[in-house]
Structure 1
């Protein structure tokens, strides 16, 4: 693994590039962009998948989203899903400049909210030839409908009213307000997936200093308006592998994506696994058992 930087418009993006064992700069390799979950950074689960895919012979790139981690972008801790789509375009741009990457064999892998951004990018980015998702989440749908997909969308009106007031306050000079991605460790009122997310992000299991569990409150308006799986029924014609746990509260996203996608597709359910089980440990190995042959076949 080597640290790298690439341009996204005027922003400098921070990435980690993983090269296969026995790397030969004179060869041409298939490459995969790995997109981290919301609030995450490249050193967490995205980096784990990137490393394991590189061990299977791929050049892989995990990077921090703009406005987050070690990447540039102001204001800090903005989460705008469409900006993340642009990040992915730029990551593909970067890979095409590497002499040892075959520009006709570039794929993407998105994890959690990274999946929604990845799918959205792939619907309009024809250089992406194959798409994998792990514990997929369309963050727009999750914001509008709640984690389990059952909340009325009208519930978001109060949040949007708060965002409107905060934007006016900040325009007048007030300090920004931040909200957490995941609840406190031990908060039993949160959905099971989010309780387990707290265990991952807020304990030594997966925590990283560049992922402080904070997001601008004003991000909510961008997230409510985002549609990650829009037009996949017509534009997502590339091969798609959707990997999810049978016990994940987020499973409805994976099921919806698989049902709608226009191209060759497979939904692989890991029995007994929750959303967060696929972030590390044996869950990653179980997901890789499908991801590795999928990308080898399609890239």
Structure 2
């Protein structure tokens, strides 16, 4: 596998998107390859699971993979920083595809997408309208709008929206930006303060230790600019618009972020899909599917035949 760093700047973009292009061993630039756009989780970056785990596995299997940083995050452009805007996240996928189709070694008729956690919700939502995507895989996919309306707002979405409105006004009047840290600072802090719910604790173990820690994976969010997330639904109109082959991979060890229910919901709604598949992995959790070799291997055993069939 070979890796190249690029900055994507299409003619309609106000800022560049930072990306890694992963190519297989023996890569021949004169040939056209099936290509996967790989989308990172909420609070993550391209150097983490989207490239180093799933991107690597797909490149080793013969695919060109483009893993990129979301706008306002990682090494991509856009200000203010740390904005999590679902509509922009979905638009980023199309802009990366706009770039991919200009590359001579990308087969424009064999483009797929894969996303982890929030990235899984984004690739599913993208595929509803982005029909250049011919097959889509969500790994432990999370519908971020649902999560914000529920656990992330402490089941008080109106209260959260009112607080965001007040904070945005304060910032417009010259106040400091409120950038919220999404996780405990360390595993030890989480233990000492009883923050041991499965997903919260395992996220801390991934993002706040050498296991998965990366400079670009900030696990931060600009609070005042998150309003639109609460009215967004990754799966809206999936019953009508999800026509491509789709696969949702979920772990049966359930946590508070809700990927298990979200993956099953998207699968259930995708009855217009040409081939819908739900992969449930017993005794594995949301964050196990980020980088644990055994469940990742089990997932890839299902993903690779699925992609080979449809790309």
Shorter-chain TM-score tier: over 0.9
Q: Distance in 2 between matches of 1:105 and 1:226?
A: 29
Greater displacement, 180-189 / 71-80? 180-189
Report what 2:265 is aligned to: 256
Contact 1:34-1:60 within 8 A present in 2 as well: yes
Pairing partner for 1:136 from 138, 141, 146 = 141
TM-score normalised by length of structure 2: 0.92
Aligned: 1:32 with 2:36: yes
Question: How big is the shift at 1:145?
Answer: 2.2
Report what 2:113 is aligned to: 108
Over the residues paired in the alignment, what is the CA RMSD in angstroms? 1.5
Change (3 A) 1:220 1:183: farther
Note the 1:142-161 alignment, pairs <5 A.
Answer: 142-146=147-151, 152=155, 155-161=156-162
Aligned: 1:267 with 2:282: no
Report what 1:181 is aligned to: 182
Count of aligned residue pairs for this structure pair: 295
> Secondary structure of the residue that 2:264 maps to in structure 1?
helix
Greater displacement, 205-214 / 98-107? 205-214
Q: Which deviations, in whole Å up to 9, do the C-alpha atoms of 1:222-259 show, x marking residues without a partner? A: 21111101111100100001101011322000010000
Question: How big is the shift at 1:190?
Answer: 5.4
Report what 1:232 is aligned to: 238
Contact 1:183-1:190 within 8 A present in 2 as well: no
Question: How big is the shift at 1:41?
Answer: 0.4
> Secondary structure of the residue that 1:115 maps to in structure 2?
helix
Q: Distance in 1 between matches of 2:57 and 2:136?
A: 16
Change (3 A) 1:219 1:115: farther
Report what 1:120 is aligned to: 125
Contact 1:4-1:14 within 8 A present in 2 as well: yes
Contact 1:242-1:266 within 8 A present in 2 as well: yes
Q: Distance in 2 between matches of 1:11 and 1:190?
A: 39
Give unmatched runs, 5+ long, in structure 1: none
Contact 2:74-2:218 within 8 A present in 1 as well: no
Report what 2:9 is aligned to: 7
> Secondary structure of the residue that 1:284 maps to in structure 2?
helix
Q: Distance in 2 between matches of 1:233 and 1:144?
A: 22
Pairing partner for 1:295 from 270, 283, 307 = 307
